[in-house]
Chains A and B, each alone.
Chain A
Amino acid sequence: MMSRILKYRELLLGAIILALIAAFSLRAPGFATPRNLAGIFNDTSILIILALGQMAVILTKSIDLSVAANLAFTGMAVAMLNAAYPGIPLPLLIGAAMAIGAVLGAVNGFMVWIIGIPPIVATLGTLTIYRGLAFVLSGGAWVNQTQMTSAFLDTPRIPLLGLPLNGWTALLVIAVIAVVFMRTGFGRALYASGGNPTAALYAGIDVGRTRFFAFVLSGTLAGLCGYLWVARYAVAYVDIAAGFELDTVAACVIGGISTLGGIGSVAGAVLGALFLGVIKNALPVIDISPFWQMAISGLVIIIAVLFNARQERRKGRLILRDAARSPAPAAAEGAAA
């Protein structure tokens, strides 16, 4: 029953996106051409990757507000590395970006798991800290196009079958994440520890550890995006992707990932990100006053969330939520430790 509703949701969201594209192309001819659509997907790639990381965290009833700051820090770090040592091969730099991102994500995970700080507070703190560190690292200076190597900047732009490598990276990440979430023990642990922590505990899943690794995953993907972002806009400065963490949360929420944890699909998160991507790309071309754009973006998110809330209510999960909130699991966790 649940999977049928979920399927229905994703289909519906997909249909809404198609309808939007059709409507926009009425006002802006050429909007629905394959070339432009590939461009939109490419433009949304970074959001998709970040949203998948955010989804892992949200599934465990947490939230990661530090993704954009993590992106800014790692982006700055690899840009400076590239500028200082142009000889370092690109795969190594991308590996470094993901490693730095993973460490920053692990810091979040550590605070939530071991110290027990609520995720929203912990990552609100690291959001500021990571941006601050990016400032400390760079001294506030920009890393400019001329300082970075052309391999560093142009590799994500290489087109392959009409889609730049940047977009292919997103497709690869989607495929890997889909397998991990649906076919591995870690994936099941993510859903279980958010959906019903008590039951997860009795099933032998360490909820805290699962959360930790969800944060590490989110951080790693943010690190990867740090590189992609800097390469895409050919500049690194402290304020890159400011406020982007909210877009990743919005993509998840629109895609039907329950902020209460345990519900949501990879397809949902991807469609949620694409939905935002289509709107963001359409607003400049359909000639809507910039003064209206922000209001429209916000309105669309609220409508999506309203729709979400109704969907969730229908499932009647209240009893389980109460059980999860009672002191029993905490005591059991103590006993298990």
Chain B
Amino acid sequence: MKLFARLALGTALGLALVTGAASAETVKIGLVVKSLGNGFFEAANKGAQEAAKELGDVEVIYTGPTSTTAEGQIEVINALIAQKVDAIAVSANDPDAVVPALKKAMQRGIKVISWDSAVGKDGRILHLNPSSNELIGNMCLKLAAAHLPDGKGDFAILSATTTSTNQNTWIAEMKKQLPKYPGLNLVTTVYGDDLADKSYREAQGLLSTHPNVKVIVAPTTVGVLAASQAVKDAGKIGEVFVTGLGLPSEMAGAVHSGATKEFAIWNPIDLGYSATQIAYRLVKKESDGKPGSEIDASRMGKIKIGADGEAAMADPFVYDKSNVDEFAKIF
């Protein structure tokens, strides 16, 4: 561990030497991810670099442990503190374990925010969620309506387990916002337990018991994939559509087969972009990041900080035939 720390510190210092000479005025932002080599975070880094380029005087140090451990992240954070970065934006492996290290950073004037995966309230100024439950629920309804003629017709939800917290929250949000979509009718909710075989059978069951259901909305990656396969195997492509939340690399096949026209998930590029923008504004003291304030995130618009210092970036990003292949290469 010590050796690793030294190595990490060494590389970090090396990096700082190479790049630090560029300009004394450069704002240095450490983008700490859960682990290196993960497509999602590589994409986030892409967005962060884009923001750095736009802002001009920013240097993003993309770093993280090699495996998703809190210990590894603490070492990386300590290395960033030693490098005297101006801000740290972290997607935490553990909400509590990294708090002491981040507190130390804040004591030295480093602006700390978390994104994607939150840090405990004491360890950060604000947390940037990729989206909010409300926006996700709304997006699922929007996608369902987009697959129906005139946005009117029957749809069903294929969820994960009956006890899954995020799924139930999103389904509750969908039900709450359903009146905004007149003509859209939720027939039933079934549970595939995030198992490929059970989700497949549940989707098959929907097809045979509810012939009026024209759209299956699955806000879970396993479910949306299994339902697409079930629709394809039943020969109902073009008759019944599947949509929901999924990853482009997993959903590319379903989009090309026609079982799915559109689906959504937060865009990691936008997330890395927004995190960098926010960190920059905090360093430049354009905003204090207090609950109730607003931060300008350039092309992502103004991001409002809600209660508990939590902010929601935007609507989930919609993927279709035109862009799914491009993103499939990323995550």
Contacts and interface: CB of A to CB of B under 8 A. Distances in A.
B100 interface: no
Contact of B196 (A233, A285, A287, A290): A233
Nearest to A233: B196
Nearest to A31: B208
B253 A234 contact: yes
Interface stretch (B7-15, B16-24, B225-233, B296-304): B225-233
A28 B206 CA distance: 12
A285 B252 contact: no
B27 interface: no
B253 A281 contact: no
Contacts of A144: 249-250, 252-253, 328
Interface residues of A, number: 28
Given A235-B196, A241-B197, A284 B249 contact: no
Contact of B250 (A36, A142, A244): A142
B201 A30 contact: no
A280 interface: yes
- Among A139, A243, A283, A285, the most chain B Cβ lie within 10 Å of the Cβ of A285
B249 A233 contact: no
- Among B190, B201, B256, B328, the most chain A Cβ lie within 10 Å of the Cβ of B201
Contacts of A235: 196, 225, 250
Nearest to B35: A140
A39 B208 CA distance: 12
Contacts of A244: 197
B interface: dominant SS: helix
Interface residues of B, number: 27
Contact of B190 (A39, A142, A284): A284
Contacts of B200: 232-233
A40 to B, nearest CB: 10
B209 A285 contact: yes
B21 to A, nearest CB: 36
B195 interface: yes
Nearest to A287: B209
A171 to B, nearest CB: 20
Contact of A284 (B37, B202, B256): B202
B256 to A, nearest CB: 7
B162 A285 contact: no
Contacts of B253: 144-146, 234
Contacts of A36: 208
B208 A291 contact: no
Contacts of B225: 233-235
B247 to A, nearest CB: 8
B292 interface: no
A206 interface: no
B167 to A, nearest CB: 12
B327 interface: no
A104 B105 CA distance: 49
B196 A291 contact: no
Contact of A142 (B209, B229, B249): B249
Interface string B192-232: 00011110111011101100000000000000011001000
B120 to A, nearest CB: 26
A290 B190 contact: yes
Given A145-B252, A235-B196, A30 B208 contact: yes
Interface of B: 37, 162, 190-191, 195-198, 200-202, 204-206, 208-209, 225-226, 229, 233, 249-250, 252-254, 256, 328
Interface of A: 28, 30, 36, 39, 43, 139, 142, 144-146, 157, 232-235, 240-244, 280-281, 283-285, 287, 290-291
29 contacts: A28-B209, A30-B208, A39-B204, A43-B201, A139-B37, A142-B249, A144-B249, A144-B253, A145-B252, A146-B249, A146-B252, A146-B253, A146-B328, A233-B196, A233-B197, A233-B200, A234-B225, A235-B225, A235-B250, A281-B204, A281-B205, A283-B205, A284-B201, A284-B202, A284-B204, A284-B206, A285-B208, A290-B162, A290-B190
Given A28-B209, A241-B197, A243-B195, 17 more contacts: A36-B208, A39-B204, A139-B37, A144-B253, A145-B253, A146-B328, A232-B200, A233-B196, A233-B229, A234-B225, A235-B196, A235-B250, A242-B195, A244-B197, A280-B201, A281-B201, A285-B209
